[in-house]
Amino acid sequence: MNKPNVKGQRMVALFLLGNLLFNYPLLALFNKPSMVLGIPVLYIYVFGAWAGLIALLAYVAEKR
């Protein structure tokens, strides 16, 4: 298998995962009036998913 091809496929998969994570149905699940440590649950979800995607992208980009 060609290595750049695998890396590209993983990047596309992470792009699709990002689209899924930030799409309406999942965002609506976390849009609640509740708070965790004084922070709305939706904010925690958005920034956590964003940080997770960045970490996964860095891992895929740097993996040899």
* Angle ∠(53,58,62) on CA atoms, nearest 5: 150
Residue type, 2: N
pLDDT in tens, 38-62: 999 999 999 999 999 999 999 999 9
Rounded distance between C-alpha atoms, residue 4 and residue 22, angstroms: 27
Which SS3 state, helix, strand or coil, does residue 48 take? Answer: helix
Percentage of residues in the chain with pLDDT exceeding 90? 86
